[in-house]
Amino acid sequence: MKKEFLDELASFGIDMVWTPFECQFYGFDVTPLPKETSWVFRGTTPDAVLRPKNTEEVARVMDFANKHKIPVCPRGGGTSGYYQSVPRNKGIVIETLALNNIGELDEKEGVISVSGGVIWSQLEWELKKKGWTLKTYPTSYKSSTVAGWIQTEGLGVGSLAFGSIKKLIKEIEVVLPSGEVVWVPNEGLVETKSGNLKFEDFIKSEGMMGIITSVKLEVRRLPESIATYLLKFKDKNDFALASSRLANISSAYFIEFVNGSYMDLLAQSGHHTPKHLKEEVFAVIRLEGGKSDVEKGDKEIAALLAEYPEIARLPQEEAEEEYSYRLKYFRIKNAYSSVTPADLSVPLSNLGQYLDKVSHFRFEFAYKGEILTKEQCGLMFFYVLANELSLVRFMSAAPYQMEFILSAMKMGGSPNGGIGLLNTPYVFGLRTQSEREAFIQKKETFDQNWIMNPGKWTDPPFFLRPSIYFSGMKLLEPVCWLVGGIVGRW
Ligand X SMILES: Cc1cc2nc3c(=O)[nH]c(=O)nc-3n(C[C@H](O)[C@H](O)[C@H](O)COP(=O)(O)OP(=O)(O)OC[C@H]3O[C@@H](n4cnc5c(N)ncnc54)[C@H](O)[C@@H]3O)c2cc1C
* Distance of alpha carbon 433 from alpha carbon 438, whole angstroms: 9
* Distance of alpha carbon 399 from alpha carbon 469, whole angstroms: 10
Q: Which amino acid, residue 173?
A: E
Out of 44, 84, 178, 401, which residue is the one contacting ligand X (CB under 6 A)? Answer: 84
Out of 27, 52, 77, 429, which residue is the one contacting ligand X (CB under 6 A)? Answer: 77
User: With respect to ligand X, which residue has the nearer C-beta, 140 or 423?
Assistant: 140
Q: Do 250 and 297 form a contact (C-beta atoms < 8 A)?
A: yes
Please list, in sequence order, all residues whose beta carbon lies within 8 angstroms of the beta carbon of residue 364, skipping any fewer than 6 positions away.
261, 278, 490
Least distance from C-beta 475 to ligand X, angstroms? 30
Please list, in sequence order, all residues whose beta carbon lies within 8 angstroms of the beta carbon of residue 397, skipping any fewer than 6 positions away.
340, 384, 385, 386, 480
**Is residue 80 part of the contact set for ligand X (CB under 6 A)?**
yes
User: With respect to ligand X, which residue has the nearer C-beta, 243 or 416?
Assistant: 416
**Is residue 148 part of the contact set for ligand X (CB under 6 A)?**
yes
Least distance from C-beta 418 to ligand X, angstroms? 6
Least distance from C-beta 386 to ligand X, angstroms? 16
**Is residue 71 part of the contact set for ligand X (CB under 6 A)?**
no
Cα angle value 198/203/204 (rounded, 5°) = 140
- Footprint of ligand X on residues 306-335 (CB under 6 A)? 329-330
| Torsion sign over Cα 244, 246, 250, 253 | negative
Q: Do 345 and 414 form a contact (C-beta atoms < 8 A)?
A: yes
Q: Which of 84, 96, 99, 10 is nearest to 47 (CA)?
A: 10
* Distance of alpha carbon 162 from alpha carbon 137, whole angstroms: 11
User: With respect to ligand X, which residue has the nearer C-beta, 122 or 237?
Assistant: 122
Q: x/- string (CB under 6 A) for ligand X, residues 336-375?
A: ----------------------------------------
**Is residue 85 part of the contact set for ligand X (CB under 6 A)?**
yes
**Is residue 78 part of the contact set for ligand X (CB under 6 A)?**
yes
What is the DSSP track for 301-359?
A: HHHHHHH-TTSEEPPHHHHHHHHHGGG-TTGGGGTSSEEEEEEEEEEGGGHHHHHHHHH
Least distance from C-beta 119 to ligand X, angstroms? 8
**Is residue 154 part of the contact set for ligand X (CB under 6 A)?**
yes
Residue range at the interface with ligand X (CB under 6 A); choices 141-149, 289-297, 346-354, 465-473: 141-149
* Distance of alpha carbon 31 from alpha carbon 14, whole angstroms: 29
**Is residue 214 part of the contact set for ligand X (CB under 6 A)?**
no
Number of residues that bind ligand X (CB under 6 A): 35
H or E element, residue 260 = helix 260-268
Of all residues in this chain, which one has the CB nearest to ligand X in the complex? 154
What is the DSSP track for 358-372?
A: HHTSSS--EEEEEEE
**Is residue 395 part of the contact set for ligand X (CB under 6 A)?**
no
Q: x/- string (CB under 6 A) for ligand X, residues 413-452?
A: ----x-----------------------------------
**Is residue 116 part of the contact set for ligand X (CB under 6 A)?**
yes
**Cβ atoms within 10 Å of 349's Cβ, excluding its own:** 17
**Is residue 206 part of the contact set for ligand X (CB under 6 A)?**
yes
**Cβ atoms within 10 Å of 429's Cβ, excluding its own:** 19
Q: Which of 211, 206, 212 is nearest to 436 (CA)?
A: 206
Q: Which residues pair with 228 in a beta bridge?
A: 286
**Is residue 378 part of the contact set for ligand X (CB under 6 A)?**
no
User: With respect to ligand X, which residue has the nearer C-beta, 28 or 470?
Assistant: 28
Out of 44, 144, 401, 424, which residue is the one contacting ligand X (CB under 6 A)? Answer: 144
Out of 147, 184, 397, 480, which residue is the one contacting ligand X (CB under 6 A)? Answer: 147
What is the DSSP track for 115-136?
A: ETT-BHHHHHHHHHHTTEEES-
Least distance from C-beta 142 to ligand X, angstroms? 9
Residue range at the interface with ligand X (CB under 6 A); choices 106-114, 132-140, 267-275, 478-486: 132-140
* Distance of alpha carbon 184 from alpha carbon 173, whole angstroms: 6
**Is residue 52 part of the contact set for ligand X (CB under 6 A)?**
no
Least distance from C-beta 407 to ligand X, angstroms? 21
User: With respect to ligand X, which residue has the nearer C-beta, 145 or 251?
Assistant: 145
**Is residue 87 part of the contact set for ligand X (CB under 6 A)?**
no
Angle between helices 391-410 and 466-487 (to 10 degrees): 120
Least distance from C-beta 11 to ligand X, angstroms? 24
**Is residue 251 part of the contact set for ligand X (CB under 6 A)?**
no
* Distance of alpha carbon 487 from alpha carbon 354, whole angstroms: 26
**Is residue 454 part of the contact set for ligand X (CB under 6 A)?**
no
**Is residue 152 part of the contact set for ligand X (CB under 6 A)?**
yes
List of residues contacting ligand X (CB under 6 A): 30, 73-81, 84-85, 96, 116, 138-140, 144-145, 147-149, 151-152, 154-156, 206-207, 211-212, 329-330, 417, 453
